[in-house]
A and B are shown apart, each in its own frame.
Chain A
Amino acid sequence: MADQLEVAVVSAERALWSGKAKSVSAKTPEGDVGILRGHEPMLALLVEAPLRIELEDGSKVLVAVHGGFFSVDSDKVNVIAETAELAEDVDLERAQAALARLKANPDSEDLSALRRAETRIQVAGVAKGVNTR
């Protein structure tokens, strides 16, 4: 078996990203999980949060995942999200506008929309930071 994780990120509409990686960290309802090579088989739900994939050369791929799950089995990681966006695909302005709108209207019960917007901004913000470095 290869000495790296094989990662595939799939959303309902298309396959988003796949490749080899050193580690994957994700957020489940019970807390953050980091996955390295040799992790036991696992099937866990995801919550709206950035998913970090660290590649062998140290660079990172960030994906905004909105609900879904991931499975780990013999060093293969499959991330299956209903909707997911790579950092460079995120429309930062739109997400910020959505966040501002939702924050201005705190009695709205759409908590998941709020979290989605926050996730997008986090992912996009970090990606920008990497680019300007």
Chain B
Amino acid sequence: MGAQLRVYRRRIKSVQATKKITKAMELIASARIVKAQNRLHASMPYLTQLVDAVSAAASHASDVSKHPLTAKAETQVRAAVLVITADRGLAGAYSSNAIKEAEALTRNLTEKGMSVVPYVVGRKGVSFYRFRNRPMGGEYVGFTDQPTYSHAKEIGEDLLKAFMTPSPEGGVDEIHVVYTNFLNMASQETRVRRILPLEVVDEVIDSSEPGNANPFPLYEFEPGPEEVLDALLPRYVEQMVYLSLLTSAASEHAARRRAMKSATDNAEELIRSLTRAANAARQAEITQEISEIVGGADALSA
């Protein structure tokens, strides 16, 4: 076998092996999208109940806008940005889109005179900030493809602690989260949401709209409306973090599936063109051998 032909054959084999891997990753990612979506749906009843209860408690509590979690600080000096990225690469532009969005938000907040503390989920984001030597308020890695509520709770507790610390002591006055919303299998988009201070007042108005003519029943609160609200608002924040993690996980799998699908397609394309080249090389080799034999015979008979 000629040298050239051997080189082509070797490359075809290597591309075929790569294609098998990307195809497998594509299938795994598609299975996980469904799983992540199911988890997202499974957590919805909790959210609805929680929002109802928060609204009910807020409508009974004396003054919600004075609650430490809903009150806006007079001077805003520091903001926290929670960026949700992936632990692993090979997911197209998923992580870099989230980081880009977070950077845009950071610029925006800096222009308003606030300093920004990043809280980062996912190894990709952590290495981005670490490489640039930018200090992080918190880093959370190892669960982005399958986040559980305890992860969200951990992050939520850290964020709440930072929020409750007065700003002169290094606390933050605002908390934003950058996550990737899962619209459908084909499209996901990066979004920014402010989670603290809470805008509970809007929700109360929403749920008492004329179409929803049944306001909250006259609940008896135990121990009391304020205490119930105190206990519920942190849960609400944690749930927001949890939902962001879940929808980002679904988006991560979708992004990975898409990236792996195009990798598989590219590998197929490459195999096709390499096969053509290998065939041409084989034929050229045969032609050359024939002409050598004919030339040799001619030389003998001459």
Contacts and interface: CB of A to CB of B under 8 A. Distances in A.
Given A14-B43, A43-B53, A82 B153 contact: yes
Contacts of A71: 49, 52-53, 56, 219
A42 B153 contact: no
B153 A28 contact: no
A13 B239 contact: no
Contact of A42 (B39, B50, B222, B238): B222
Question: Closest 4 A-B residue pairs measured CB to CB?
Answer: A44-B222, A41-B217, A14-B42, A43-B219
B218 A41 contact: yes
A80 interface: yes
A129 interface: no
B228 interface: yes
A42 B219 contact: yes
A40 to B, nearest CB: 6
A122 interface: no
A10 B41 CA distance: 13
B223 to A, nearest CB: 6
Contacts of A43: 53, 56-57, 219-222, 228
B39 A13 contact: yes
A80 B219 contact: no
Interface in B221-255: 221-223, 227-228, 231-232, 235, 238-239, 242
Nearest to B243: A12
Nearest to A31: B222
Interface of B: 39, 42-43, 45-46, 49-50, 52-53, 56-57, 148-150, 152-153, 217-223, 227-228, 231-232, 235, 238-239, 242
A73 B46 contact: no
Interface of A: 8, 10-15, 28-30, 33, 40-45, 68-69, 71, 73-74, 78, 80, 82-83
30 contacts: A8-B45, A10-B46, A10-B49, A11-B149, A12-B43, A12-B46, A12-B152, A13-B43, A14-B39, A28-B223, A29-B222, A41-B218, A41-B219, A41-B220, A42-B219, A42-B222, A43-B56, A43-B219, A43-B221, A44-B221, A45-B223, A45-B227, A69-B53, A71-B49, A71-B53, A73-B219, A74-B217, A80-B46, A80-B50, A82-B235
Given A12-B152, A73-B219, 12 more contacts: A10-B46, A11-B149, A12-B242, A28-B223, A29-B223, A43-B222, A45-B231, A69-B232, A71-B49, A71-B53, A82-B238, A83-B149
B46 A69 contact: no
A69 B57 CA distance: 12
Residue in A29, A33, A68 with the greatest tally of chain B CB atoms within 10 Å: A68
A13 B223 CA distance: 26
B141 to A, nearest CB: 21
A69 B228 CA distance: 8
Contacts of A42: 219-222
Contacts of B235: 68, 82
B222 to A, nearest CB: 4
B222 A40 contact: no
Contact of B49 (A41, A44, A78, A83): A78
Contacts of A12: 43, 46, 149, 152, 238-239, 242
A40 B220 contact: yes
A11 B239 CA distance: 11
A28 B223 CA distance: 8
B203 to A, nearest CB: 16
A15 B45 contact: yes
Given A13-B43, A14-B43, A80-B46, A44 B217 contact: no
A30 B227 CA distance: 12
B95 to A, nearest CB: 25
Contacts of B228: 43-45, 69
